């Protein structure tokens, strides 16, 4: 379905309380005898509940570091991350991460990998099995319950990773280039699957990608970061309603947004 609204280039208005707030976030890395390497420089933006926000920017600008800080896996050097108004200081059950590497346990079956996070929760074995099977079906892997990672294609392994993250029912799903290691055809198929899953599961999503097209196709909003040290150079509202299909890729607004973002990234790269 295609919305008729023109694309909004610029900060998108937040009309409801933020689920996630990034406030003046800074991060640097230090090595002995070297000046600090500033990666993130005072980032501030909000993500309302149930919004799908894509983060794009040059390689090495700190996109993955930003996700790790949001998840509580890495501390910030300045600023804060808030979820529902509470500061994030460590990993928590309300957030789940999907990494670019499939990161599955090779000694566990597909069903066993999905169940892993559930084993940390006060659930019976019956409930863990029921939930795991539900999410295995949601990602289209019925019949592969007993398959081990080495018996699955890359795309199938990533589906297991997505199911594992969804199974613990996080409020916020963090995705770090989840399709980046896949071939083009598999990547496009999983993008379609992602749209279907998001329609089925009400989640707040922060999705890091190098692909401008992928960001426009999947997201409600795109936050564009500059080269390191990363700051926000664009905040773009994607004007396509859900549910979506591939027809939006031929829409003039899709082409216009892609051109605007690419032009900004390219001009910044030439200036650096």
Residue 243: CA count within 13 A, CB half-sphere: 12
Residue spans of the domains in the chain: they are 8-94+170-271, 104-169
pLDDT tens profile 136-167: 999 999 999 999 999 999 999 999 999 999 99
**Cβ proximity of 3 and 239 under 8 Å:** yes
Task: Name residue, tokens 């066993």.
Answer: 112
Backbone conformation region of residue 159, classed left if phi is above 0, alpha if psi is from -120 to 50, else beta: alpha
| Beta bridge partner(s), residue 223 | 55, 235
User: Tell me, what's the pLDDT at 13?
Assistant: 44
Task: Name residue, tokens 């500061």.
Answer: 87
Average pLDDT over residues 214-230: 93
What is the separation of C-alpha 26 from the centre of its chain, rounded to a whole number of angstroms? 20
Q: Distance between CA 30 and CA 138 in Å, rounded? A: 43
pLDDT tens profile 79-115: 999 999 999 989 888 899 998 877 899 999 999 999 9
**Cβ proximity of 35 and 49 under 8 Å:** no
**Cβ proximity of 163 and 141 under 8 Å:** yes
Task: Name residue, tokens 């998840």.
Answer: 71
**Cβ proximity of 115 and 105 under 8 Å:** no
Q: Distance between CA 238 and CA 231 in Å, rounded? A: 20
Residue 238, token pair as written in the block:
């994607």
Give the 3-state secondary structure of residue 125.
Answer: helix
**Cβ proximity of 50 and 240 under 8 Å:** no
**Cβ proximity of 198 and 98 under 8 Å:** no
Query: Band of the pLDDT at 1, cuts 50, 70, 90?
Result: very low
User: Tell me, what's the pLDDT at 82?
Assistant: 94
Q: Which CATH number fits domain 8-94+170-271: 3.20.20.140, 3.40.50.300, 3.30.565.10, 3.40.190.10?
A: 3.40.50.300
Element (H, E) at 112: helix 110-115
Residues above pLDDT 90, as percent of the chain: 61
Task: Give the DSSP letter of residue 34.
Answer: S
> Three-class SS string for 87-103?
ECCCCCCCEEEECCCCC
Q: Distance between CA 268 and CA 272 in Å, rounded? A: 6
CB atoms within 10 A of CB 131: 21
Residues above pLDDT 70, as percent of the chain: 92
pLDDT tens profile 11-56: 444 445 568 999 999 998 877 777 778 889 899 999 999 999 999 9
């Amino acid at each position: 379905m295609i919305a008729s609204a023109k694309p909004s280039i610029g900060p998108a208005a937040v009309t409801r309380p933020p689920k996630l707030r990034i406030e003046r976030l800074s991060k640097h890395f230090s090595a002995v005898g070297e000046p600090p390497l500033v990666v993130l420089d005072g980032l501030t933006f909000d993500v309302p509940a149930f919004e799908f926000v894509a983060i794009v920017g040059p390689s090495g600008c700190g996109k993955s570091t930003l996700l790790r800080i949001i998840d509580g896996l890495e501390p910030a050097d300045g600023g804060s991350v808030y979820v529902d108004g509470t500061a994030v200081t460590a990993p928590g059950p309300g957030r789940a991460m999907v990494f670019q590497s499939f990161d599955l346990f090779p000694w566990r079956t597909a069903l066993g990998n999905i169940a892993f996070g559930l084993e940390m929760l006060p659930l019976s074995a019956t409930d863990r099995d029921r939930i795991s099977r539900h999410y295995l079906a949601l990602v289209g892997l019925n019949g592969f319950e007993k398959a081990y990672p080495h018996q699955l294609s890359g795309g199938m392994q990533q589906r297991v990773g997505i199911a594992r993250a969804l199974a613990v029912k996080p409020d916020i799903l963090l995705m770090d280039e989840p399709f980046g290691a896949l071939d083009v055809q598999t990547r496009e198929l999983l993008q379609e699957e992602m749209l279907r899953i998001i329609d089925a599961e009400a989640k707040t999503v922060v999705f890091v990608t190098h692909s401008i097209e992928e960001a426009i196709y999947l997201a409600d909003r795109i936050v564009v970061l500059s080269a390191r040290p990363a700051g926000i150079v664009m905040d773009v509202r994607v004007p396509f309603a859900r549910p979506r299909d591939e027809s939006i890729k031929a829409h003039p607004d899709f082409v216009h947004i892609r051109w605007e973002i690419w032009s900004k990234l390219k001009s910044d790269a030439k200036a650096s």
